[in-house]
Copies of this chain bind each other. A is one copy, B any other.
Amino acid sequence: MKVTVSRRAHFNAAHRLYRPDWDDVKNNEVFGKCNNPNYHGHNYELIVSVKGPIDPETGYVMDVKILKDLIRSEVEDAFDHKNLNLDVPEFKNLNPTAENIVVVIWNKLRKHISTTLELEVVLYETPRNFVKYTGE
């Protein structure tokens, strides 16, 4: 009997999509206005979900307070009010598309969550564009 527990969080960041090994023409062609060299930004909203059995002692799959604190230390403290390209080591050589960001977040959280729990991360870049990664 497995239940999924989800927690919503958020961070605000600047970023730019481009490849340093491409020239401006190619970068503009592929990334359009997301390639602005002066950066643009988003309010990223995050839903982190863990799935597993209910602990019969507590009635919890995982204490949401622990999940909340983990998201704060691993994601919010690391990404909030940052420039993803310049301030966050994981994106020094990785284009910070929503797809790449959600995989980075999943990997950061995965190592702190019990292996008995499945992990899913949904990342909203805007209320209209979002991505999901389950480690699959």
Contact = CB atoms under 8 A, between A and B. Distances in A.
A127 interface: yes
Interface string A54-79: 10011111011100000000000000
Interface string A63-102: 1110000000000000011110011000000111111101
A130 B97 contact: no
B38 A128 contact: no
A117 interface: no
Nearest to A33: B81
A54 B14 contact: no
Place the interface of chain A in its size category: 35 or more
A126 to B, nearest CB: 5
A75 to B, nearest CB: 14
Contacts of A42: 12, 41-43
Contact of A87 (B38, B57, B128): B38
A95 B63 CA distance: 14
A126 B36 contact: no
A97 B60 contact: yes
A16 to B, nearest CB: 9
Nearest to A36: B81
A116 interface: no
Contacts of A129: 5-8, 64
Given A36-B83, A59-B95, A65-B32, A3 B41 contact: no
